[in-house]
Every structure is written in structure tokens, then in C-alpha cells.
Amino acid sequence: MTFPPRVFYDPASFRDEIRQAQADGKRVGLVPTMGALHQGHLSLVAESQKSCDLTVVTIFVNPTQFAPGEDFAKYPRTLEADLKLLSAFDPVWVLVPEVDAMYPPGNTTVVQAPEIAQSLEGAFRPSHFDGVATIVLKLFQAAPADMAFFGQKDFQQVRVIEEMVRDLIVPIEIVRCPIIREANGLAMSSRNRYLSPEEREIALSISRSLEEASQQIKEGETNAQSLRDKIEQTLRDAGFREIDYVSIACPRTLKSVETIEGDVVILVAAKVGSTRLIDNILVSSPVSS
Ligand code: AMP
């Protein structure tokens, strides 16, 4: 069975209809995306369906989270295919706003992302998280859902959103969902479609190196520097030339640790060809903190 989703273009009518659904007693789950949907996105929709009566998906390639020279113009836009994938779920409403609808002409208000946005991605993409925080808050206004679902794939992003929601007293429950991977371990991403077969092979070393490091932590390795070095070496041996960061950090503060104890997250960002990939893994060390 397929169920063509109801598509909206105007944020104000989207909000009115969502409020009406809530007034009728429906619990609403929001899945914000930039489109070019894959199984990772669909897992968020499936998760929303478990706890909500209506799932609303937004598809919007947000210009303010791309820096000049990044891939905004060539970011994949595949609306027809996206709607087809969403038609496996019911009921789903989709908002596909124009840029002017989200950024009304003359707009100058922005959200300054919380401090946790400064390191890692923020160090390499300085205005990125202000753009993310700004659009996500706008989307929360256009889609005043009860819950919003985000992937752990963008680990720092979900931490930024969690802090923003706490700091700005936003009445939405944030739900983190696990990373969906291809059978070979590659974390699914809309940007994977840029990869040539050779680059895809190189890209696999990210998840492989994270898995190996995770295994060593579970066997009691506590030296973060030595593990970071091993991950970098694996990536270089596979063919990565530009590694932005390899970090072993506290999952709450994202501050890098030297001694691995308790829960840590290992985060990697690296470029293959012109495609920048990120991935991460949460690990519980048997060494208690
Ligand atoms: P994007 O369209 O890249 O902005 O992603 C929209 C949402 O999907 C974000 O919350 C991402 O973290 C999530 N997402 C992207 N890739 C994956 C994946 N492989 N597994 C789980 N969630 C994902």
C-alpha cells in the first residue's frame, strides 16, 4: 500500500493544520530534513510513527548552514523520489517551503548557537551551527510538534539542538535516533551519492576505524591519543588526505578526553575528493570514571 503524503508549501497553513490535528487529540512528531532521503531519514519517520499519531517531515535545503564555497548549489534535490519514499508511511504531511518563506525578505534575526557548537564541526564550519539553530527554531514554529526526531549521525548537531531547546524553553521533546549504516558499515548520508566507487571504498575506512577503536576501548584501552593516532593512520592508509578531526570526547560536553573512562563518543570528519564525510560512535568503556 502507498499513501501519497499531504504536501504543504506555506509554513503558516502547515502550522494551522498541525494545531488543528493536536486540538483533535493527535500527538505530532517532526522529522526535519534537507531531502535526498535515504533509510537513515526513514528510520526517523518510523521512530516517530511508533510514538505519534501524525508525522510531519520538512524538506528544506537551508542556505544559512552552508558557507560560501560549500555544496549548497549542488546539494541533491530529489523531491519526487522523496515523496515516493514517504508514501510508505501514513499519515505523513510534508512541508516543502521556498527560501523566502523561511527567510522573509528583510529578515535579520538569527539564533546564536550554544557554546557546544564552537568545537569540532564549528571549528571547521564557523557559521554552520548558527544556521542550523536558526532554521530548526523556525521549523519548530512552522511545525509545533510534540516531539522532534534527530539522528545521532550528526552527533554535535543533536547536542546543539538539545541545548537550544533547554536554553530557549522550547516545548518540544527531542528524540535521538541511532545511525543507520549500509551493510558494509558506511553511515548513510545524502552526500554519499557524490562518491565515486573508489572514493566509496576509501570512505569505508571511517566506520571500520571507529569500530576497531570501539573494540579496543571495550577491551580496556584508556589512552585516547594512541587510539586517535591509530584511527588517523587507518584513514590515511585507506587514502584520506584531508582529515579535519578525530576526537574522543565526553558525549555531553564534546570536550576531548585524554584518558578514556565511562562513556565516550569518537567523532571523525574527513574529506575524500570534494566530499566531506562525518561519522561517530558511542562507546562505554569498562573502566569506570
Ligand atoms: P539531513 O537531511 O542530512 O539534514 O538529515 C536530516 C536528519 O536525518 C538529521 O537529524 C540527521 O541526523 C538524520 N540522519 C542523516 N543520516 C542519518 C543516518 N545515516 N542515520 C540516522 N539518521 C540520519
Q: What is the pLDDT of residues 79-127, one digit of tens each?
A: 999 999 999 999 999 999 999 999 999 999 999 999 999 999 999 999 9
End-to-end CA distance of the chain: 50
Instruction: Please indicate whether residue 58, judged by its CB atom, sits closer than 6 Å to ligand 1.
Output: no
Contact (Cβ atoms closer than 8 angstroms) between residue 178 and residue 149: no
- For ligand 1, atom 5: residue with the closest CA: 33
C-alpha distances (whole Å) from 72 to each of 16, 38, 62, 75, 259 are 30, 19, 8, 5, 39
Contact (Cβ atoms closer than 8 angstroms) between residue 169 and residue 143: no
Contact (Cβ atoms closer than 8 angstroms) between residue 287 and residue 220: yes
Close Cβ partners of 268 (under 8 Å, ≥ 6 residues apart): 206, 209, 210, 231, 235, 243, 245, 246, 247, 278, 279, 280
Q: Is 87 exposed, middle or buried (0-12, 13-18, 19+ CB in 10 A)?
A: middle
Is residue 128 annotated as a catalytic residue, yes or no? no
Helix 11-23 vs helix 128-142: angle between axes, to the nearest 10 degrees? 50
Instruction: Please indicate whether residue 275, judged by its CB atom, sits closer than 6 Å to ligand 1.
Output: no
How many Å apart are CA 207 and CA 211, to the nearest integer?
6
The segments of the chain whose pLDDT lies below 50 read none
Alpha helices in the chain, H assignment, sequence order? 11-23, 39-51, 79-86, 99-102, 121-124, 128-142, 155-167, 197-218, 224-238
The confidence score (pLDDT) of residue 289 equals 76
- For ligand 1, atom 7: residue with the closest CA: 33
How many Å apart are CA 253 and CA 266, to the nearest integer?
13
The confidence score (pLDDT) of residue 2 equals 87
Instruction: Please indicate whether residue 136, judged by its CB atom, sits closer than 6 Å to ligand 1.
Output: no
- For ligand 1, atom 8: residue with the closest CA: 41
* Amino acid (1-letter code) at residue 247: S
- For ligand 1, atom 14: residue with the closest CA: 151
The confidence score (pLDDT) of residue 246 equals 98
- Residue 37 C-alpha to ligand 1 middle, in angstroms? 9
8, 29, 41, 47: which one is catalytic?
41
The confidence score (pLDDT) of residue 1 equals 81
DSSP 258: S
Instruction: Please indicate whether residue 135, judged by its CB atom, sits closer than 6 Å to ligand 1.
Output: no
